[in-house]
């Protein structure tokens, strides 16, 4: 295949680069010494109408994914943004990521193609612009698992090894992740220009975000307020979908909140094993700010930062802008609670939630906490699976609770088969349990890719009860339990 065949595989546009120049810096990826393709996502390539890439000379493919050769038609840039990190405002920007451009798939849907770990940018601060292999494989694996669970997420097209070492806790093999996202617009993108009182850029970003993600709002009477409302709704849906599978993002800083409603930035994230609302995994989250049960609340806080940055666009009269924004923000807790209830009742086989279901669910969760049960496996045991938690459900308080569920199901009129089908498609079996993910990654970094490949196969079929490999369904033993994950990405 010729080099031109590679260039013609893409269908580039660059709408972000049309924003004011303050929104980005044009910067090329820094070439790496000896790139090698570690994993390529054929499935995603197919979805993006990039199947042509799979037929190309792998040596050419790897040159592009490593950043050694910029494909024709790409326009590499690093995005400018800020964010509240653990509550403090910080000016950030893509310190180790470079956007090649927006690829339009067969249906005209737009996907950012970004290289993560591709070298220094004007926003690198004290970082090296690089990434280590383990964390990039982790993002690949967990984002694939999330997509298979039906949760909105950025995706991973490939991971390449760089042949170079990066310095973290010791020297580690370096890597570049090729990330795709419907966009990389964040709450922090707006925050940067609000802090600078750059109304022109804010306005351009507003129009850009609406055109890209919420085109139905183009004619809204107050587009900024309408965008706030729409982002609130998509965040409520997203966080509810996390809560329903026990996902803890780990670093819900405002720079890691995508306006599209996709999950972004897989750092110290984890799925809970034993149910506990205060579960925290990130080693740097000492106050539990981003604990499992705090995610709805911290999302409300993040949305308030978004609202603040929109104020000058909401109304020229700042008092009026504040009162309009507050009115809108007030709706979030109810929207969040409704989205949570909708997701949770399905896990029990209930189709349409009723207000009283909240207590039923909370009582169940309190029992899981009290008896120290595994979140994922307890739900599967409820559907009849033979697993570690099954016998626990025979305890009297569970039996009493179960009678309430039975009565509720009976009153709803749903057939037992339909309720069971709902449970089986809402309660995953195989989730990226931390101890098992870490094991696969350690083995990968040590040179054996097989457990990583096997993990990918299993995690792409989270509801498949015909899989006999229990690596990602078994509760960790005492010694295997992971309490912290590290941010050293």
Binding site for ligand AMP (CB under 6 A): 92-96, 124, 127-130, 251, 255-256, 265, 267
Burial class from Cβ neighbours inside 10 Å (0-12, 13-18, 19+) for residue 449 reads middle
Which residue's CB atom is positioned nearest to Mg ion? 265
- Report the candidate in 171, 161, 165, 156 with the shortest Cα–Cα distance to residue 45: 156
- Residue 282 in contact with Mg ion, rule: CB under 5 A: no
Which residue in 94, 112, 169, 255 is the catalytic one?
Answer: 255
* Residue 94 interaction partner, one of ligand AMP, Mg ion, none, beta carbon < 5-8 Å per kind: ligand AMP
Q: Please, are residues 260 and 234 in contact by the beta-carbon 8 Å criterion?
A: yes
The Cα-based distances of 240 to 235, 246, 348 in angstroms read 8, 10, 15
Position 265 contacts Mg ion (CB under 5 A): yes
Judged by beta carbon, residue 234 or residue 253, the one nearer ligand AMP is 253
Nearest Cα to Cα of residue 71 among 134, 2, 8, 114: 8
Q: Which is nearer to Mg ion, 154 or 256 (CB)?
A: 256
Question: What radius of gyration, in Å, describes the C-alpha atoms of the chain?
Answer: 23
How many residues touch Mg ion under the rule CB under 5 A: the total is 2
Burial (CB count within 10 angstroms: exposed 0-12, middle 13-18, buried 19+), residue 485: buried
Minimum distance of ligand AMP from residue 132's CB (angstroms): 9
Stretch that binds Mg ion, among 125-133, 261-269, 415-423, 472-480 (CB under 5 A): 261-269
CB of 242 or CB of 348, closer to Mg ion: 242
Q: Which residues lie below 8 Å from residue 8, measured CB to CB, with a gap of 6+? A: 52
Residues in the chain: 489
Q: Which does 277 bind (CB under 5 to 8 A by kind): Mg ion, ligand AMP, none?
A: none
Among the candidate windows 115-123, 230-238, 258-266, 334-342, which touches Mg ion by CB under 5 A?
258-266
Q: Which is nearer to ligand AMP, 256 or 328 (CB)?
A: 256
* Minimum distance, C-beta of residue 137 to Mg ion, in the bound complex (Å): 18
Q: Which residues pair with 37 in a beta bridge?
A: 160
Q: Are 172 and 133 in contact (CB under 8 A)?
A: yes
Give least dist CB 132 to Mg ion, A: 16
Residue with smaller CB distance to ligand AMP, 25 or 392:
25
Q: Binding partner of residue 246 among Mg ion, ligand AMP, none, CB under 5 to 8 Å per kind?
A: none
Nearer to ligand AMP, 268 or 349 (CB): 268
Stretch that binds Mg ion, among 260-268, 354-362, 371-379, 383-391 (CB under 5 A): 260-268
End-to-end CA distance of the chain: 35
Q: Which two tokens stand for residue 265?
A: 């930035």
The distance of closest approach from Cβ of residue 267 to Mg ion in the complex, given in angstroms and rounded to an integer, is 7
Q: Residue 196: exposed, middle, or buried by beta-carbon count in 10 A (0-12, 13-18, 19+)?
A: middle
CA dihedral 69, 73, 76, 81 (to 10 degrees): -150
> Rounded to the nearest whole angstrom, what is the least distance from the CB of residue 79 to ligand AMP in the complex?
9
Q: Work out what residue 392 binds among Mg ion, ligand AMP, none; the CB cut-off runs from 5 to 8 Å by kind.
A: none
Nearest in space to 52 (alpha carbons), one of 13, 12, 8: 8
Cβ closest to Mg ion, residue 152 vs residue 393:
152
Q: Which of 95, 97, 29 is nearest to 66 (CA)?
A: 29
Minimum CB separation of residue 256 from Mg ion in Å reads 5
- DSSP codes of every residue in 278-304: T---BTT-TT-TT-GGGHHHHHHHHHH
Q: Is 255 a catalytic residue?
A: yes
Question: Which residues sit opposite 160 in a β-bridge?
Answer: 37, 176
Residue 129 contact among Mg ion, ligand AMP, none, beta carbon within 5 to 8 Å by kind: ligand AMP
Separation CA 154–CA 262 (nearest Å) = 6
Q: Which is nearer to Mg ion, 256 or 299 (CB)?
A: 256
Partner from Mg ion, ligand AMP, none contacting 261, C-beta within 5 to 8 A by type? none
**Candidates 160-168, 250-258, 293-301, 370-378 — which segment interacts with Mg ion by CB under 5 A?**
250-258
Residue 267 site contact among ligand AMP, Mg ion, none (CB < 5 to 8 Å, cut-off depends on kind): ligand AMP
**Which one-letter DSSP state was computed for residue 110?**
E
Residue 76: name its binding partner from ligand AMP, Mg ion, none (Cβ under 5 to 8 Å by kind): none
Q: Which residue is at the shortest CB distance from ligand AMP?
A: 127
Q: 434 is in the binding site of which of ligand AMP, Mg ion, none (Cβ under 5 to 8 A by kind)?
A: none
What is the closest distance, in whole angstroms, from the C-beta atom of residue 121 to ligand AMP in the complex? Answer: 8
> Which of residues 16 and 472 has its CB atom nearest to Mg ion in the complex?
16
Q: Pick the stretch among 133-141, 201-209, 254-262, 415-423 that binds Mg ion (CB under 5 A).
A: 254-262
CB 91 to Mg ion: min, Å: 13
| Strand residues in 65-118 grouped as ranges (E) | 77-79, 82-85, 88-91, 97-104, 110-116
Interaction between residue 256 and Mg ion (CB under 5 A):
yes
CB of 78 to ligand AMP, least distance (A): 8
H or E element that contains 163: strand 155-168
**Four-point Cα dihedral 152, 157, 163, 166, nearest 10:** -10
Write out the catalytic residue numbers.
255
Binding residues for Mg ion (CB under 5 A): 256, 265
């Amino acid at each position: 295949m010729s080099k031109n065949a590679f260039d013609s595989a893409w269908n580039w546009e660059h709408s972000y680069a049309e924003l004011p120049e303050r929104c980005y810096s044009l910067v090329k990826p820094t070439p790496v010494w000896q790139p090698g393709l570690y994993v390529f996502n054929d499935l995603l390539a197919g979805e993006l109408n990039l199947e042509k890439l799979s037929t190309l000379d792998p040596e050419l493919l790897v040159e592009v994914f490593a950043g050694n050769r910029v494909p024709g038609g790409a326009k590499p840039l690093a995005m400018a943004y800020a964010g509240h990190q653990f509550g403090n405002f910080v000016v950030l920007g893509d310190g180790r990521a470079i956007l090649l451009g927006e690829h339009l798939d067969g249906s005209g849907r737009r996907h950012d193609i970004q290289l993560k770990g591709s070298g220094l940018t004007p926003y690198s601060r004290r970082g090296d612009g690089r990434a280590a292999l383990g964390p990039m494989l982790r993002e690949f694996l967990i984002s694939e698992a999330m997509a298979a669970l039906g949760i909105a997420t950025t995706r991973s097209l490939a991971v390449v090894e760089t042949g170079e070492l990066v310095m973290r806790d010791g020297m580690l093999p370096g890597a570049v992740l090729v990330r795709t996202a419907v966009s990389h617009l964040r709450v922090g993108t707006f925050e940067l220009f609000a802090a600078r009182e750059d109304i022109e850029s804010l306005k351009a970003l507003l129009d850009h975000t609406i055109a890209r993600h919420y085109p139905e709002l183009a004619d809204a009477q107050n587009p900024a307020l309408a965008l706030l409302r729409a982002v609130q709704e998509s965040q409520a849906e997203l966080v509810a979908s996390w809560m329903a599978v026990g996902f803890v993002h780990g670093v819900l800083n405002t720079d890691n909140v995508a306006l599209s409603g996709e999950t972004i930035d897989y750092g110290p994230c984890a799925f809970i094993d034993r149910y506990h609302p205060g579960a925290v995994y990130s080693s740097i989250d000492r106050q539990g700010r981003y604990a499992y049960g705090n995610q709805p609340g911290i999302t409300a806080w993040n949305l308030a930062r978004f609202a603040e940055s929109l104020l000058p666009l909401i109304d020229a009269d700042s008092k009026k802008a504040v009162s309009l924004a507050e009115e809108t923000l007030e709706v979030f807790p109810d929207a969040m609670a409704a989205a949570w209830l909708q997701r949770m009742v399905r896990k029990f086989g209930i189709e349409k939630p009723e207000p009283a279901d909240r207590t039923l669910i909370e009582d169940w969760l309190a029992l899981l906490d009290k008896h120290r049960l595994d979140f994922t496996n307890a739900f599967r045991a409820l559907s009849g699976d033979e697993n570690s938690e099954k016998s626990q459900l025979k305890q009297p308080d569970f039996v009493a609770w179960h009678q309430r569920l039975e009565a509720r199901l009976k009153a709803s009129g749903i057939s037992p088969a339909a309720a069971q089908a709902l449970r089986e498609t809402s309660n995953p079996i195989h989730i990226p349990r931390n101890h098992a993910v870490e094991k696969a990654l350690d083995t990968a970094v040590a040179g054996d890719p097989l457990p990583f490949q096997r993990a990918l196969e299993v995690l792409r079929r989270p509801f498949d009860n015909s899989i006999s490999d229990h690596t990602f369904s078994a509760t960790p033993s005492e010694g295997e339990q992971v309490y912290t994950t590290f941010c050293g990405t």
